[in-house]
Amino acid sequence: MTAMVEEAVRTLSYREAINEALRLEMRRDPTVILMGEDVTGASHSEDESHLDAWGGVLGVTKGLVHEFGRQRVRDTPITESGFVGAGVGAAATGLRPVVELMFIGFMGVCLDQIVNQAAKMRYMFGGKARIPLVIRTMIGAGFRAAAQHSDSIYSTFVHFPGLKVVAPATPADAKGLLAAAIRDDDPVIFCEHKLLYDMKGPVPEGEYVIPLGQAEIKREGGDVTIVAISRMVLHALEAAERLAQQGISAEVVDLRTLSPLDETTVLESIRKTGRLVVVDEDNPRCSVATDIATLAATQALEFLNAPVKLVTPPHTPVPFSPTLEDAYIPSPERIVAAARATLG
């Protein structure tokens, strides 16, 4: 059994894993289409050498147009309301669109189509509509891209009933969760961290689907629970390694799906360790991190041996200058300090 698993697992980057999930789902279901700004590129041109000029701004969708053509891998004008809304309308009428919103900070130019149309349509229509739409979008600071291209504001979407929100931290999770998101009949916001695209990891071959709504314990431990999201899972794992060297056993819970939230896994870990640190790259107010703290306060207070610690960026926009941006992003050092503080 072990040998079979090892044989089936090879290494891909997070970018390649997402590309593979898109390719497999597009092969499996002809109603799956991909659209967004320059998801292939140069759609004006008949010149073969221009085909797939970009394949997405960071190359995530590269190559798909060769297999599926420009009808299904569709460049859009830079009009997010128009094409995100078209994704909603297409989903309501029988397609399964994957729409790329280049950066999550661009939600401001299409938010109505997401929160007033896609998210509410099923409820407003008394359950008589399905909106099987995926919006892939980039999150994350650390790219020196400044305030409008570096947000991790997924909690905005968690706030809205009708939406599901996913934020994978590893290549395997990216593949499995994207496949699940595409097959899901509700609108899903799929958040890809731009600093993870080149990270490699084992990814199962062929069909691989991870159900939405399941957190994963990425490292087991008994002294303190560290709940983290997306790239912050890697920082939490690094912190856990350093804590281990100091004789502290940290458990790292990767939420993976932010809506629905896997409350059970989080609560079980808190009950085991009695201490909670939440690490989140999103803004600190009204966030998934504060949700996890609320969960602990309302349902696990009697198990907590210390106040909950949050490790998040400050309540500021993402800065440009490298020294400022590095100070902004939650660091493994701050996570170590927060975990140690819960231990008194």
Q: Which residues are catalytic?
A: 149
Tell whether residue 86 is a contact of another protein (CB under 8 A).
yes
Give me the least distance between CB of 267 and another protein, in Å please. 12
Candidates 24, 209, 228, 261: give the one binding another protein (CB under 8 A).
261
Tell whether residue 215 is a contact of another protein (CB under 8 A).
no
**What's the count of helices (H) and strands (E) in the chain, helices before strands?**
13, 14
Tell whether residue 94 is a contact of another protein (CB under 8 A).
yes
Candidates 59, 89, 142, 317: give the one binding another protein (CB under 8 A).
89
- Could you tell me which of 251, 76, 91 has the C-alpha nearest to residue 184? 91
For helices 288-299 and 263-273, angle between their N-to-C axes, nearest 10 degrees:
60
- In whole angstroms, give the CA distance from residue 224 to residue 276: 6
Secondary structure class of 75 (helix, strand, coil): strand
Question: Radius of gyration (Cα) for the chain, nearest Å?
Answer: 20
Give me the least distance between CB of 239 and another protein, in Å please. 27
CA distances from 85 to 8, 49, 80, 101, 121 (A): 39, 31, 8, 12, 12
Give me the least distance between CB of 134 and another protein, in Å please. 14
- In whole angstroms, give the CA distance from residue 47 to residue 50: 5
Subset of residues 267 to 306 that bind another protein, contact rule: CB under 8 A: 291, 294-295, 298-299
Tell whether residue 213 is a contact of another protein (CB under 8 A).
yes
Q: Which lies closer to another protein via its Cβ, residue 166 or residue 248?
A: 166
Q: Which long-range contacts (CB under 8 A, 24 or more apart) does 261-266 make?
A: 261/213, 261/288, 261/291, 261/295, 262/213, 262/214, 262/215, 263/295, 263/299, 265/214, 265/215, 265/216, 265/217, 266/215, 266/225, 266/227, 266/292, 266/295, 266/296
Q: How many residues bind another protein (CB under 8 A)?
A: 51
Q: Which lies closer to another protein via its Cβ, residue 214 or residue 249?
A: 214
Tell whether residue 334 is a contact of another protein (CB under 8 A).
no
Q: Which stretch binds another protein (CB under 8 A): 18-26, 127-135, 229-237, 321-329?
A: 127-135
Q: Which lies closer to another protein via its Cβ, residue 19 or residue 76?
A: 76
- Could you tell me which of 311, 107, 163 has the C-alpha nearest to residue 225? 311
Tell whether residue 113 is a contact of another protein (CB under 8 A).
yes
Secondary structure class of 230 (helix, strand, coil): coil
- In whole angstroms, give the CA distance from residue 125 to residue 121: 6
Give me the least distance between CB of 318 and another protein, in Å please. 26
Tell whether residue 209 is a contact of another protein (CB under 8 A).
no
Tell whether residue 136 is a contact of another protein (CB under 8 A).
no
Candidates 13, 61, 76, 150: give the one binding another protein (CB under 8 A).
76
Residue 77 exposed, middle or buried by CB count within 10 Å (0-12, 13-18, 19+): exposed
Q: Which stretch binds another protein (CB under 8 A): 60-68, 112-120, 194-202, 246-254?
A: 112-120
Candidates 161, 307, 314, 322: give the one binding another protein (CB under 8 A).
161
Give contact residues for another protein (rule: CB under 8 A).
33, 71-72, 76-77, 79, 81-95, 97, 112-113, 116-117, 121-130, 161-162, 164, 184-186, 213, 260-261, 263, 291, 294-295, 298-299
